[in-house]
Amino acid sequence: MREIKASEITDVVERLCIKANEELPEDIKGAIRRCRACEDWETAQGVLDKIIENFEIAGEEHVPICQDTGMACVFLEIGQDVHIVDGDLREAVDEGVRRGYDKGYLRKSVVKDPVRRGNTGDNTPAMLYTEIVPGEQIKVTVGPKGFGSENMSAIRMFKPSAGIEGIKSFILETVEAAGSNPCPPMVVGVGIGGTFDKCALLAKKALMRNTEEPNPDPYYADLEKEMLEKINELGIGPQGFGGKTTALALNIETMPTHIAGMPCAVNINCHVTRHKTEVI
C-alpha cells in the first residue's frame, strides 16, 4: 500500500489548471496547422492564421488561450493500492482548482445553483470523475471545458433498430445544429453504449484522447474517419465563415450496453481542446 498525501494532489491539480489553459496540446496545434495548409479560401485561411497566432502568444506569454477558462473537469485514475492520507480527496481537488484559477488569473465561471445562479468566486467545485485501476499511482487529467461548445452537445437514447445509420445521422445533425456556436474548427467526442450517464462520460473522455491516435477497433477507427469527412463537407468552416475545416478530429469511445438500447452522446469542444495530465 502506497500513501499519497492529499496536498500532493492539490499541487498537481493547481499546476494542471494553469498549464491546460495556457498550452494547447501538440496534437491540436498540429491539426490546426495542417488544416490551414489545406484551406484555399482566403477568409478561412485568415481565421486559422489568427487562431494559430493566438495559441502561440498564449504559450509564449503564459496567458489563457481563451477568455472562457471553463469548468475544471478533473479525471482521476486511482490505483487500488493507493491510500490517500492527510486530507479529503474532494477538498484536495477543489483546493487545487481554487489556487490554480487564482494564481493563473483565470476567469471564475461556476455558479452555486443552476437556476438561482450566484458565482462561487473561485471556480469550484470541480467536475470530478474517479476510476479505480490496478497499481499504486494516481493519474490526474485536467480538462477545462468552456460552455459555448458544451451547450451544443447532445444525447440520444436509440433503440438498436436505429443501427449505425441512426448514429451517423445524429452526429451530423448535432454538429450542423451547433453551427458557429462552438467556435469551430471543433473536436467532436462521441460515446456509444453503456447507460444514459455512461455514454455521456464516454463522449467527454473521447475529447481527452490524443487526436492522432485512432480508436483501436478498426471498425470504429473507420467510422471516425468517415464522420470527420462528412462533418467537414458541411462547410461551416472556421468560426462559421465557411471553408473545408469544420472539425479537426472526431474521437469515438464505446462500451457494452443493454440488449434493448444503443445510447449515443456527442460532446462538442471548440478548437481550444485543452487537457493536461500528470502521474503521481
pLDDT tens by residue, 39-58: 988 999 999 999 999 999 99
Residue 5's φ and ψ, nearest 5 degrees, are -75, 140
Give the C-alpha separation, 19 to 25, whole Å: 10
Q: What is the mean pLDDT of residues 105-130?
A: 98
Q: What is the mean pLDDT of residues 153-182?
A: 98
State the pLDDT at residue 114: 97
CB 174 within 8 A of CB 280: no
pTM of the model: 0.95
Q: What percent of the chain has pLDDT over 70?
A: 100
pLDDT tens string 55-69? 999 999 999 999 999
Q: What is the mean pLDDT of residues 66-87?
A: 97
Residue 259's φ and ψ, nearest 5 degrees, are -60, -25
Only one residue has cell 438498436, namely 160
Give the C-alpha separation, 215 to 203, whole Å: 13
Q: What is the mean pLDDT of residues 229-243?
A: 96
Q: What is the mean pLDDT of residues 120-143?
A: 98
Question: What stretches of the chain adopt beta strand conformation (E)?
Answer: 2-5, 71-79, 82-85, 127-133, 138-145, 154-158, 186-194, 247-257, 262-269, 276-279
The helix/strand/coil state of 253 is strand
State the pLDDT at residue 208: 96
Q: What is the mean pLDDT of residues 127-146?
A: 97
State the pLDDT at residue 119: 98
Confidence of residue 89 (pLDDT cuts 50, 70, 90): very high
State the pLDDT at residue 220: 98
Confidence of residue 216 (pLDDT cuts 50, 70, 90): very high
Helices 42-61, 26-38: crossing angle, 10 deg rounding? 160
Closest CA to 202 of 147, 155, 151: 155
Q: In sequence order, which residues have a C-beta less than 8 Å from that of residue 102 and are 6 or more positions away?
A: 122
State the pLDDT at residue 122: 97
Closest CA to 211 of 191, 240, 189: 189
129, containing H or E segment: strand 127-133
Cell of 248: 479537426
Q: What percent of the chain has pLDDT over 90?
A: 99
Cell of 125: 467545485
Confidence of residue 279 (pLDDT cuts 50, 70, 90): very high
140, containing H or E segment: strand 138-145
pLDDT tens string 16-39? 999 999 999 999 999 999 999 999
* pLDDT averaged over every residue in the chain: 97
